[in-house]
Structure 1
Amino acid sequence: MFLTGSGFESQLIYGSGYFNVRIKAPQTTSTGVITSFYLISRSSRHDELCFQILGKNGPPYLLNTNMYLYGEGGKDQRFRLWFDPTKDYHSYSFLWNPNQLVFYVDDTPIRVYSKNPDVYYPSVQTMFLMGSVQNGSIIDPKQMPYIAKFQASKIEGCKTEFMGIDKCTDPKFWWNRKQLSSKEKTLYLNARKTYLDYDYCSDRQRYPKVPQECGSYT
């Protein structure tokens, strides 16, 4: 299978911030097509945060989230979307700071990873933004072209150089907050209870031993 598709990446590099992109996934029958939004670093052992809208023939649609921590991936958490991502634009956001990583869908936090001194936390490598639409498996060429639309809704981050992340930890930046608000915590718990479809931390067949970083999820 050959991977093909299209994408973009930011010219600016960030050391922390809030990154909101509105996405409308391909409307055609899209089994095998993945529409993605990333924060990713440039190194052989990279850090990465990722949203992946998984295409199919119709609702319900699944949203996969993944992380690479110092080059180690396979940290999938998958959610059943409570809307049709092909019908309209919806917001997908990362809050990334020295204290926590938060994945948001339409202002609802669905995944939270908190800093833990006992495990690796991505606060060393700077990152840039990427978006793409590509095939993740076999697709139907009769349904082409697959068109995903992206809108940069709110990008507020600490712009920096390749490895200049220290200045981005300053608490003066509004996004460098240490935890969710009480309202966000309620939304988060409800989303996890209602929409979580798969969590690698609970997959004993894939990971007989619970991955060390699983204790860092709120």
Structure 2
Amino acid sequence: MPRPMFKSAAAVAAVFVACLATCSRASRAGGFYEDFDVIWDEEHVRVTDDGGRRQVVTLTLDNASGSGFQSKDQFLFGEFAMEMKLVPGDSAGTVATFYLTSEGDAHDEIDFEFLGNVSGEPYVMHTNVFVQGTGNREQEFYLWFDPTADFHNYTVLWNPNNIIWTVDGVPVRVFKNHESSGVPYLGGQAMRVHASLWNGESWATQGGRVKTNWSDAPFVASYGSYAYAATACVAGDGASSGCPPNAAPGDAGSWMDRQLGPDDERAIAWARENYMIYDYCNDPWRFPQGRPAECNLDRHG
């Protein structure tokens, strides 16, 4: 499938990939176990060295258990990136995730979820936002590449202005801060970075019509370089708490101020036109009373 022809997006992607290889763990020399805790079935989580280029974390799902990990730190705003290589072959029913979430019933959450497929069918990239415990803000896309053949970068930028989802440096979705118009926004709850691989056969593939084929188990998703230590504000009272220097509002290029530019707007329009398969803003069955308020304020939903 063709890649978008946006020079600025390609340049951002190239710089970002180079950075991931050299600085993704700059602040924590110990690597994965310095940044993350395994929170779901340690026997299904394996950390290896990919020829000295990166640590690779593999999560395994079988009919006994899935697996997952979360960041030791909690964050209040940041730019968070993860390299992922998804479950190959017949992955129907499986869900591989990279997301941020706070704790409690009235939690905030920002999701990348990858819904497995029947062999030969495309993966579905499912994105969502929960604000104070309420979600129902899904947008879904196909991808313009095979996400099982190699690692690709998936990034969440979360700042006081907006949340931007990008794939290999190409923006695909934005959720803007419309609190001034009465729309709740994520800004009061610290969140951890999470990743998991689990069985979502009740809904993940063709609305749950296609179930997990356990004869193909174990299913494996791989996580490579990750980046957030230098681009996120650590919440809490510890010595490492606070924001890095490049988070200062008003600084040139600060991610804390970043919003969509003209090329970003065109990239999102390209993704919506060519690869979007579901948008909650255009679902009258779920919202018979009318479109959610933010959909009428922001053409991107």
Same fold (TM over 0.5): yes
User: Are the counterparts in 2 of residues 59 and 84 from structure 1 also a CA contact under 8 Å?
Assistant: no
Amino acid at match of 2:70: E
What SS class does the counterpart of residue 128 from structure 2 fall into? strand
- What does residue 279 of structure 2 align with? 199
- How many residues of Structure 1 are paired with residues of Structure 2 in the alignment? 213
User: Are the counterparts in 2 of residues 201 and 210 from structure 1 also a CA contact under 8 Å?
Assistant: yes
The TM-score with structure 2 as length reference comes to: 0.67
Per-residue CA deviation, residues 56-79 of structure 1 (Å, 9 max, x unaligned), is 123422111111111001211000
- What does residue 75 of structure 2 align with? 14
More displaced, 177-186 or 17-26?
A: 177-186
2:187 matches 1:123? yes
Structure of higher RCO (CA pairs closer than 8 Å, 6+ residues apart)? 1
What SS class does the counterpart of residue 148 from structure 1 fall into? strand
- What does residue 198 of structure 2 align with? 134
What SS class does the counterpart of residue 220 from structure 2 fall into? coil
2:84 matches 1:44? no
Any unmatched runs of 5+ in structure 1? Answer: none
Distance across 2 between alignment mates of 1:73 and 1:32: 21
- What does residue 259 of structure 2 align with? 179
Bigger helix fraction: 2
Amino acid at match of 1:215: N
RMSD of the TM alignment (CA)?
A: 2.0
More displaced, 59-68 or 128-137?
A: 59-68
Deviation, 1:142, is: 0.7
Distance across 1 between alignment mates of 2:250 and 2:192: 21
User: Are the counterparts in 1 of residues 250 and 257 from structure 2 also a CA contact under 8 Å?
Assistant: no
2:112 matches 1:32? no
- What does residue 217 of structure 2 align with? 144
Per-residue CA deviation, residues 102-144 of structure 1 (Å, 9 max, x unaligned), is 0111111111011111210101111110001111013111111
- What does residue 105 of structure 1 align with? 167
- What does residue 234 of structure 2 align with? 159
Amino acid at match of 2:175: Y
- What does residue 214 of structure 1 align with? 295
More displaced, 51-60 or 30-39?
A: 51-60
Larger radius of gyration, structure 1 or 2? 2
Distance across 2 between alignment mates of 1:99 and 1:88: 32
